[in-house]
Structure 1
Amino acid sequence: MPTEEDQGYHFGVIRRAIDRIDAAGGAALSLDDLAAEMHMSPAHFQRVFSRWVGVSPKRYQQYLTLGHARALMRERFTTLDAAGTLGLSGSGRLHDLFLRWEAMSPGDYARHGAGLTISHGYFAGPFGDTLAMATDRGLCGLAFTEETGRAAAFADLAARWPDATFVEAPDRVAPMVEAAFSRTGETRLHLIGAPFQIKVWEALLAVPSGHVTTYSEIARAIGNPKAVRAVGTAVGRNPISWLIPCHRALRKTGALGGYHWGLPVKRAMLAWEGARADAQAG
């Protein structure tokens, strides 16, 4: 298992590789050429990719193309259960991680976090520098700062709960982050949002790793099929990225749509999951 430092470094390489593959305009790049662009030896570049995702750089290129999302729509589209099967708290599996989640009550949400202490810290994760926040009930915020910067990411999450007390305490948050990124054990989530938002986020938890769904499918699943635009807004307001997999929500056309922490991060997440799913199936 790569260390946190390895994970952050690996994502930096992947982020540069995305730019280089895009610049190639669809032309396949050899291992030697791509490694040279990353200022790495072919052998080192191969090892980085293999440790990060489990497939070769040559094979991984197909998962970083803009057409990958459309392929997922054709091959791994997930329909969601009807609203009656979705509650406001529960548990479930996400890749190899066992999640338990608890939703804030509407009354607590209306108090804008008053009386709530939220610990936070920055960590190296599989998708770059990561801001994590937690209450005593579990992780309540997970943001990726590579595209936005740390200050903007912190301001964004903190504004969700303006009357909460924020304490820099990475040691308190670290065990939760370790469980989340190691994909083993149990991680608790504390969903802090309006009831409609929480319903949307819970629907996202039903989408398996390596699969995708659409904003309209989520709207149907929560019993409000005309609320596609509101669903899109709620998806974008998801404070616990990756674990609540808003990156798996696409437009009906197969277009990526937006991603709160930057489209390169979303593409890398979809590519990582797709490649691992195929490697495990093979």
Structure 2
Amino acid sequence: MTAGINTEIRDGYHFNVMRRAIDLIDAGGPGVRLSDLARDMNMSPAHFQRLFTQWVGVSPKRYQQYLALGQAKDLLAERFTTLDTAHELGLSGTGRLHDLFLRWEAMSPGEFARRGDGLKIYWGWFDSPFGLALVMGTEKGICGIGFASETGEAAAMEDMIARWPNAEFVEDPMMLRPWVLTAFGAGDQQGEKVPLYMIGAPFQIKVWEALMRIPSGHVTTYSEIAQSIGNPRAVRAVGTAVGRNPVSFLIPCHRALRKSGGLGGYHWGLPVKRAILAWESARAEAG
């Protein structure tokens, strides 16, 4: 099996422009200038700023500030979420990207133990705001999202397949495309639901449920997640479950930080985690 890219599906012009711009902002740091970004995008500065602000929610300059080195500590200080409080206040469904709501169901423990045996998983490559994304799903919903900008396409594919080694994998990006466009906010998809199909052990699924209670633009800590699932001593196990989250971005493992204020780890690379957190924070402020 090869990790081929279906060019028919990679037609999101704004995806490509904003992905390249975010990469340049991240690489260039606070010194990158609007005029240079616009030139690299083959646009006038005014047109680029208008497009970027419309798509991301804030100006390129403001977005740069979210990528500062102290971002994680600032987020913990200003946007820390106590999960039980968030749930009681109804925050788990608010502030999501483009008013995105999720509906999900989980595989039974017995099915999980069979490591995908008898399961047909469709897959495809898609452009996303955070680089090339490998998306996998069953007929019930998306079951996997991985990012290849740091790992490379072959490694991302191998990583995802290894999670369900006994499944049948079928390349079919068109089957997944409507869910992906809604998930990453392309087009007029507001209010539509993205179905998820969680494939994991019961403890992992409990942790992933807790992650989905963190509002977009907010963060929490591994210890807070352990507390919220009724097992405050299981911080290390929580960290492992967070790291094994198969549906990156939609199950927001990037919103879990260390209590010290560090970003912690991220399965697909810390630059991807920083970019997602900055993007969500910017949109939360704009909203």
The alignment status of 1:255 with 2:258, answered yes or no, reads no
Q: Distance in 1 between matches of 2:214 and 2:131?
A: 23
Please, which moves more after superposition, 61-70 or 189-198? Answer: 61-70
Which residue, out of 231, 236, 243, partners 1:224?
A: 231
Please, which moves more after superposition, 130-139 or 8-17? Answer: 8-17
Q: Which amino acid aligns with 1:256?
A: L
Q: Which amino acid aligns with 1:7?
A: F
Is this contact kept in 2: 1:8–1:129, CA < 8 A?
A: no
Q: Which residue of 1 aligns with 2:204?
A: 197
Please, which moves more after superposition, 44-53 or 6-15? Answer: 44-53
Measure how far apart 1:132 and its partner are. Answer: 0.7
Q: Which amino acid aligns with 2:13?
A: E
Is this contact kept in 2: 1:54–1:279, CA < 8 A?
A: yes
Measure how far apart 1:179 and its partner are. Answer: 2.0
Which residue, out of 136, 139, 159, partners 2:139?
A: 136
Q: Which residue of 2 aligns with 1:240?
A: 247
Measured at CA, do residues 98 and 12 of structure 1 come closer, stay the same or move farther in structure 2, by a change above 3 Å? same
Is this contact kept in 1: 2:93–2:215, CA < 8 A?
A: no
**Percent sequence identity over matched residues?**
63
Q: Distance in 2 between matches of 1:264 and 1:104?
A: 31
The alignment status of 1:272 with 2:279, answered yes or no, reads yes
Q: Distance in 1 between matches of 2:246 and 2:114?
A: 17
- What does 1:1-282 correspond to in 2, within 5 Å? 4-21=12-29, 29-32=32-35, 42-81=45-84, 92=93, 94-95=96-97, 96-182=99-185, 184=190, 185-280=192-287
Q: Which amino acid aligns with 2:111?
A: D
Please, which moves more after superposition, 37-46 or 3-12? Answer: 37-46
Deviations 1:190-215 (A, max 9, x none): 00011111111110000000100001
Deviations 1:105-164 (A, max 9, x none): 110000000000000011112222111101111000011111111111111111111100
- The TM-score, its normalising length taken from structure 2, stands at 0.86
Measure how far apart 1:39 and its partner are. Answer: 8.0
Is this contact kept in 2: 1:210–1:270, CA < 8 A?
A: yes
Residue aligned with 2:279, SS: helix
Is this contact kept in 1: 2:21–2:37, CA < 8 A?
A: no
Measured at CA, do residues 36 and 254 of structure 1 come closer, stay the same or move farther in structure 2, by a change above 3 Å? farther
Is this contact kept in 2: 1:122–1:170, CA < 8 A?
A: yes
Measure how far apart 1:175 and its partner are. Answer: 1.5
**Cα RMSD over matched residues?**
2.3
Is this contact kept in 2: 1:55–1:275, CA < 8 A?
A: yes
Unpaired segments ≥5 residues, structure 2: 1-10
Is this contact kept in 2: 1:7–1:127, CA < 8 A?
A: no
Is this contact kept in 2: 1:131–1:143, CA < 8 A?
A: yes
Measure how far apart 1:5 and its partner are. Answer: 3.4
Unpaired segments ≥5 residues, structure 1: 86-90
Please, which moves more after superposition, 183-192 or 99-108? Answer: 183-192
Please, which moves more after superposition, 32-41 or 229-238? Answer: 32-41
Measured at CA, do residues 113 and 242 of structure 1 come closer, stay the same or move farther in structure 2, by a change above 3 Å? same
Deviations 1:28-71 (A, max 9, x none): 55434665688875335424532431211222221111212211
Is this contact kept in 2: 1:9–1:128, CA < 8 A?
A: no
Is this contact kept in 2: 1:143–1:239, CA < 8 A?
A: yes
Q: Distance in 1 between matches of 2:40 and 2:181?
A: 32
Measured at CA, do residues 151 and 221 of structure 1 come closer, stay the same or move farther in structure 2, by a change above 3 Å? same
